[in-house]
Amino acid sequence: MIYEGGNGVPAFSCEEYAPKTSDYAVLIPVINEGERILKELYRAYKHEIAKHADIVICDGGSTDGSTQERKLRKLQVNTLLVKKDKGKQGAQLRMGIYWALQRGYRGIITIDGNNKDSIEDIPCFIRKLEEGYDFVQGSRFIKGGRAINTPFIRNISVRLIHAPVISLTAGQRFTDTTNAYRAYSARYLSDAEVAPLRDVFMTYELLAYLSVRATQLGYKACEIPVTRAYPKAGKTPTKISFFKGNSELLKILFKNLFGAYNPK
């Protein structure tokens, strides 16, 4: 099935391998993650995550063969969405959010597809959503969380810059604010005063915005402990370049502080 796009939703194709089986969907944005996404999905398979939530791949246009139907079906992926439009992570998440809301999920969990995060903790996010929380942020920096081999610059920049500014903007303390491992209620994402389906969210704007908009509007938010593990050696698995990527994150951070992404 092809969605033509428009009204803040990028054009995308949809391959549903199974019907809706849960009240919750796990959205995993990927592009050419290779063995990393397959290892992550295997961990999900081993921990029976598909019994708790429908796993949905939000592909930005991978060409490395990692999203072949045979492989995804074997690892209990429910649906593959493939973006056919401009934009990066923000556009991938918008297509996933749109599709998930249209399919009637009560909540959405997002997690990176590079096998750094403890995908086995997804039931913990679901429990918080069922307790009535609307935004649940995973954190490696709170009690019970684990930060393994976090690059020094990333550690310092999150703790001393990104988290304090997001916390100030949100009016509530958060500790791991660049972490895309989080959950949202459908109620929060459907609010017209949130309006996540807008073309302004092309890269990392949506993560920063959704981190603060919940508490600004009086929704319940919390953090839960998770593990984020970087490899001991080799290239750091990230799409954020050291200079350009980090400078863009800072720009987004301060635009968010001054309400630049709020609905007009």
pLDDT over threshold 80, residue 144: yes
CB neighbours of residue 192 within 10 Å: 6
Q: Does residue 21 sit within a domain?
A: yes
Q: Does residue 217 sit within a domain?
A: yes
Per-residue pLDDT band at 233 (split at 50, 70, 90):
confident
**32: its two tokens:** 């050419």
Per-residue pLDDT band at 236 (split at 50, 70, 90):
low
Q: Does residue 119 sit within a domain?
A: yes
Query: Looking at residue 244, what is its pLDDT?
Result: 58
Q: Does residue 262 sit within a domain?
A: no
Q: Which domain holds residue 16?
A: 2-257
Which H or E run contains 209? helix 205-216
Q: What is the mean pLDDT of residues 141-169?
A: 96
Query: Looking at residue 245, what is its pLDDT?
Result: 56
Count of domains in the chain? 1
pLDDT over threshold 90, residue 241: no
CATH of the domain at 138: 3.90.550.10
Exposure class string for 22-49: b at 16+ Cβ within 10 A, else e? bbbbbbbbbbbbeebbbebbbbbbebeb
d(CA 242, CA 239): 10
Query: Looking at residue 246, what is its pLDDT?
Result: 72
Q: Does residue 264 sit within a domain?
A: no
pLDDT above 70 covers a percentage of the chain that reads: 95
d(CA 24, CA 126): 8
d(CA 168, CA 42): 38
| Whole-number average pLDDT of the chain | 95
Predicted TM-score (pTM) of the model is 0.94
Q: Write the pLDDT tens digit of every residue in 8-62.
A: 999 999 999 999 999 999 999 999 999 999 999 999 999 999 999 999 999 999 9
Q: Does residue 263 sit within a domain?
A: no
Query: Looking at residue 263, what is its pLDDT?
Result: 96
Q: Does residue 30 sit within a domain?
A: yes
Q: Write the pLDDT tens digit of every residue in 63-72.
A: 999 999 999 9
